[in-house]
Amino acid sequence: MTETPVDLLVRRIDRLERENRRFRRAATAIALGVAAVFLMGQTVPKSPAVETQKLVLKDKRGKIRAVLGEFSEDEPFGLLVFDANQRIRTKLGLQEDGSPILALTDDRGVDRVMLHPALGLRVLGDGPSVTLGVNYGNEPALHLNDKDGWTRAALVLTGTNTAPILKFLDPRGNARAWIGAMSDGKAQLLLMNRPPPTQPGRAGDLSRPNVAATATLEVDADGAMGLRFFRGGTIWKAP
């Protein structure tokens, strides 16, 4: 059957209308895309920083493994790291007084290693502990502390004559004996009486005012030896 001029005209009009509809849809999509890019550019923050009061990191099972921020009133403000059983094992942050602290805990939640500006480095057992730091006389010292927190032995580098001294203290922090090597080459062994009651010295405080030595054994750098006894003054010495 031969198409008439009218049929050809109708077919061309239908084709033009289909092409026109496809063009309008494409133009609309392009316009929407441009508008979306423009709006996204307007809403992107000028700074890449993320601001929040607390950041919580969880593992794939939904358990908390780290918290950055304030976790509770009992813990320092900072970074807390948890083990798989939700126990805090590491603390790095600021205490209520503003002092920084780093603490490593065992699986019972007991602090075992602590680093603090005032306390120095402390390693704690179930009773005794070890402290490495600077005492109140601004002297570097290594302290061995008993289960009650009293320093029982300390290795100190004195600030007056840069002499290394090993001190032994009684259960209330009173220095009773020490061995030292003075900067002038003299070696000394001192045995001291118990001083009158003073302010107790906990771990890290080795300052004791006017502790009188009751016996002193000395060896000079040239080999000369001496032995002295005191009780309100020298009462016997040799040679």
| Helix, coil or strand: residue 68 | strand
Global pTM value: 0.62
What does CATH list as the number for 119-239?
3.90.930
* Rounded Cα–Cα distance for residues 93 and 182 (Å): 41
Taking every pair of Cα atoms in the chain, the longest distance, rounded to a whole number of angstroms, is: 147
pLDDT score of 168:
93
End-to-end CA distance of the chain: 146
pLDDT confidence bin for 161, thresholds 50/70/90:
low
* Rounded Cα–Cα distance for residues 134 and 204 (Å): 8
How does the average pLDDT of the chain come out, rounded? 77
The domains of the chain are located at 1-51, 54-110, 119-239
Least confident of 86-100, 187-201, 214-228: 187-201
Least confident of 99-103, 146-150, 160-164: 160-164
| Cβ neighbours for 133, distance < 8 A, ≥ 6 positions apart | 119, 120, 121, 122, 140, 141, 143, 204
* Rounded Cα–Cα distance for residues 191 and 177 (Å): 5
Residue type, 42: Q
Give per-residue pLDDT as tens, 114-132: 888 877 888 988 888 999 9
- 127: closest CA among 113, 145, 106, 151? 145
* Rounded Cα–Cα distance for residues 212 and 23 (Å): 105
Q: How many CB atoms lie within 10 A of CB 112?
A: 16
* Rounded Cα–Cα distance for residues 27 and 33 (Å): 10
